[in-house]
Chain A
Amino acid sequence: MKGEAQTDRDLLSRVPTLADTSPRKYNKRRRLIETFLAVGVPGSLIALWQLGFHYEWIDNRFYASPWEIVSSKELREAELWSEMWTSVQRMLKGFFAGSLLGVLLGVLMGVSRLLRAALDSLLTALYTVPKLALIPVFVTLFGFGDLPRIALIAVTVFFFVWISTMSAIMGVEDGYREAALSFGANKWQIFRHVLFPGALPQIFVGLRIAAGVAVLMLIGVELVLASDGLGALIEKGRTLFLPELTYVGIAFAALLGLSFTYLVRILGRVLLPWAPEDQTPNQN
């Protein structure tokens, strides 16, 4: 998109392109293309999938086609929606508990070197433990109810939010801190006016990643402790040999992840109007 219309080998010309002469039209066209891609790419993949069934490239006994999924009777049954609701509630509870703790500890460790020294290596070691491996421990601790499931999601979310919050707080530019110090701000004031708002954009990046991870963990836990929820539905589909049930569950999990991540992103944009937008497809 460089305006270098080279008419001659020794002539370099800077001339307007469509983007410069009629920016409105250009932006409109670009948005149209972007929307087309955003809908078209997943759309054509689904179409290909359906086509695969039609021509029997894919084994109909073990897999379900998009059409079977959409038209399956499970979709119209209340069971699915109540399982979904169970899952959503779990995820939200786990996410909020985990992010609250993550932000709290991240902030504390971000401002205190001593706390960092005390906990950094310990938490980093725990961070790498696969959380699903902790299911037996959590069941022993919290019993068989909802609690071990929520706690596992919370723990997973916690680590992501903790790390991004801590590095965000530490990464706030010294110049901002010094400006506040020069006005005689005390520690709390520096935190409230400088460190926390300065770190928030980065914290929200962490929250967004954690939102996706929360869905991963949710389904993982429900698959293992398969009594109810979307994960249990997926597992049920497998054991009862109902592939469309499994795929309905997977599709719902994907949609849940997509909408929850978007929700966190929109929340971030509303709360932080000053922050630069990070890699969004929606710039202008």
Chain B
Amino acid sequence: MRKRSCKIEAREVEKVFSADSEDEVHALGPLDLQVQDGEFVCLVGPSGCGKSTFLRIVAGLLNPSTGRVDIRINPENPTPISMVFQDYGIYPWKTVEGNIRFGLEISGISKSRTKEVAGHWLERMDLTAFASSYPDTLSGGMRQRVAIARALAVEPEILLMDEPFAALDAQLRQLLQDELLAIWQKEQRTVLFVTHSLEEAIVLGDRVIVMSSRPGKIVLDQKVPFERPRSPELRAQSDFNEFKNELWLCLKGEVEHYLERVNSVEGKIGSNDEG
């Protein structure tokens, strides 16, 4: 077991969206969070609780309104952080292989090495036969595999996943969860994973963090009590469901809270309601 150090540290992070002359939306925080090196942390919470917003702040796509996030990285790594999006991630004008190579090309890795790494991930993700296909011709599950391969090919220290499996059907979702589980257990990286699904969070995560409805704060930060390596059969265990129910009780209150607010006066939810 390698020595664990703090990889991501968020202190009093808040995000307020304010379009001009319109009212402000307090989307997130204040939120304090520490993620250790190599830890798999899942963020769950009702729609609009700011979990994706937080992920985007870590990714550097958004800045916090107050507070700060510090991320320890290896300065030699050209791509210390990569992200998998729910959709819109992969480019329809690039082939499967082209998409996987994208991150490598951006970071300026040599041609031969790029080819080698891309080949490895094509194989790893069972996509070799589709290397020269365009994403439009692939199923949703395969497209998301391409996105994951693209994100992992650059060997990031931190992998950010924003509801990566939300658009997939239940069976495929489970299959990809299992694949991700296997990959992660083989080459541990720090992962921040946003999801709506408690089951997904428990199967994959070392820690599950339940967030409140907007403005998102942490209401529960729970270690997942199941040993690694985990197998897909975990889902059938009785203590798995017990644990899931425990978390659900906590989350339920927040979801109800969210629904109440949606049903009351609030007609307009900002464009960041996935956040």
Spell out A's residues near B (CB within 8 Å). 2-4, 9-17, 19-21, 23-24, 27, 284
A4 touches B19 (CB 8 A): no
B23 to chain A, nearest CB (A): 12
Size category of the binding interface on chain B: 20 to 34
A10 touches B69 (CB 8 A): no
What would be 14 A-B contacts, judged by CB atoms less than 8 Å apart? A3-B63, A4-B60, A10-B73, A10-B74, A12-B70, A12-B72, A13-B68, A14-B68, A15-B64, A17-B63, A20-B63, A21-B66, A284-B19, A284-B20
Separation of A18 and B64 alpha carbons in the complex (Å): 11
A11 touches B66 (CB 8 A): no
Among the listed B20, B66, B73, which residue makes an inter-chain contact with A12, where contact means beta carbons less than 8 Å apart? Answer: B73
Residues of chain A with a CB closer than 8 A to B66's CB:
16, 21
Which B41-95 residues have C-beta < 8 A from chain A? 57-58, 60, 63-75, 80-81
B18 touches A13 (CB 8 A): no
Residues of chain A with a CB closer than 8 A to B58's CB:
14
The chain A residue sitting closest to B17, CB to CB, is: A23
The chain B residue sitting closest to A23, CB to CB, is: B18
B69 to chain A, nearest CB (A): 4
A32 to chain B, nearest CB (A): 14
The chain A residue sitting closest to B74, CB to CB, is: A10
A16 touches B63 (CB 8 A): yes
A179 to chain B, nearest CB (A): 18
Spell out B's residues near A (CB within 8 Å). 18-20, 57-58, 60, 63-75, 80-81
B64 touches A16 (CB 8 A): yes
B63 touches A11 (CB 8 A): no
Residues of chain B with a CB closer than 8 A to A9's CB:
75
Known A-B contacts A27-B20, A284-B19; A13 and B63 likewise in contact (beta carbons under 8 Å): no
Residues of chain B with a CB closer than 8 A to A13's CB:
68-71
Separation of A3 and B19 alpha carbons in the complex (Å): 19
A14 touches B73 (CB 8 A): no
B73 to chain A, nearest CB (A): 5
Residues of chain A with a CB closer than 8 A to B73's CB:
10-12
Residues of chain B with a CB closer than 8 A to A10's CB:
72-75
Among the listed A12, A20, A24, A284, which residue makes an inter-chain contact with B71, where contact means beta carbons less than 8 Å apart? Answer: A12
Among the listed B18, B60, B80, which residue makes an inter-chain contact with A3, where contact means beta carbons less than 8 Å apart? Answer: B60
B65 touches A16 (CB 8 A): yes
The chain A residue sitting closest to B10, CB to CB, is: A14
A175 to chain B, nearest CB (A): 14
**Max count, chain B CB within 10 A of own CB: residue among A11, A12, A15:** A12
B242 to chain A, nearest CB (A): 37
The chain B residue sitting closest to A283, CB to CB, is: B20
Residues of chain A with a CB closer than 8 A to B71's CB:
11-14
The chain B residue sitting closest to A6, CB to CB, is: B75
Residues of chain A with a CB closer than 8 A to B74's CB:
10
A23 to chain B, nearest CB (A): 5
Separation of A4 and B64 alpha carbons in the complex (Å): 11
B63 touches A15 (CB 8 A): yes
Among the listed B57, B65, B70, which residue makes an inter-chain contact with A21, where contact means beta carbons less than 8 Å apart? Answer: B65
Separation of A4 and B63 alpha carbons in the complex (Å): 9
Separation of A169 and B273 alpha carbons in the complex (Å): 31
Residues of chain A with a CB closer than 8 A to B80's CB:
12
The chain B residue sitting closest to A18, CB to CB, is: B63
**Max count, chain A CB within 10 A of own CB: residue among B63, B70, B71, B81:** B63
Residues of chain B with a CB closer than 8 A to A23's CB:
18
A70 to chain B, nearest CB (A): 36
Separation of A15 and B71 alpha carbons in the complex (Å): 11
Separation of A94 and B112 alpha carbons in the complex (Å): 60
Separation of A21 and B14 alpha carbons in the complex (Å): 10
A-B complex: 4 closest residue pairs judged by Cβ atoms: A3-B63, A12-B71, A14-B69, A9-B75
Residues of chain A with a CB closer than 8 A to B57's CB:
14
